[in-house]
Amino acid sequence: MSLPSDSGMPAAAPPPADISAELSHGGRFIRYNIFGNVFEVTSLYKPPIMPIGKGAYGIVCSALNSENGEQVAIKKIANAFDNKIDAKRTLREIKLLRHMDHENVVAIRDIIPPPVRETFNDVYIAYELMDTDLHQIIRSNQALSEEHCQYFLYQLLRGLKLYTRRMSFTEI
């Protein structure tokens, strides 16, 4: 499975020409303009950064971890602390996924620290980058065989079994 996304932007899409990057906070962070929103991550994650999805809970971009060479998906949860429900949802997602090791659940690679701890309101989480997600597969023109459907259903049911452990569907 893959990181939840409400739009099917392929991971291999070329970066939009209007993405600009500038160093911030003494070069410790890089600030991007993605979909008209500020996307600010530590300089550990090197450009180019590419948007791969935009959903109900934030924007997702791919980036390269310069320390280990791994491509990751970084989700920005904007205004994560504006209300109690969103704050709890964000904390629950981090707590559950930090300790989860299951092939049907996306893994957290990093929680990106804020540039200013006293005033931050956005949370950035780096996940393993998946090749695709179920949304892209369903919307593709490729014909799905019965075996494909059985395989997807099997994976969904394995992930759904984790739901009985009080996980939310956005984490599967």
For residue 51, whether the previous peptide bond is cis, meaning omega lies within 30 degrees of 0, is no
Break the chain down into helix, strand, coil percent, rounded to 5.
Answer: 25, 30, 45
Cβ partners under 8 Å of residue 166, min gap 6: none
Question: Would the annotation count 46 as a binding residue?
Answer: no
In 3D space, the residue among 36, 92, 44 whose CA is nearest the CA of residue 69 turns out to be 44
Question: Residues annotated as binding site?
Answer: 76
Residues belonging to the binding site for ATP are: 76
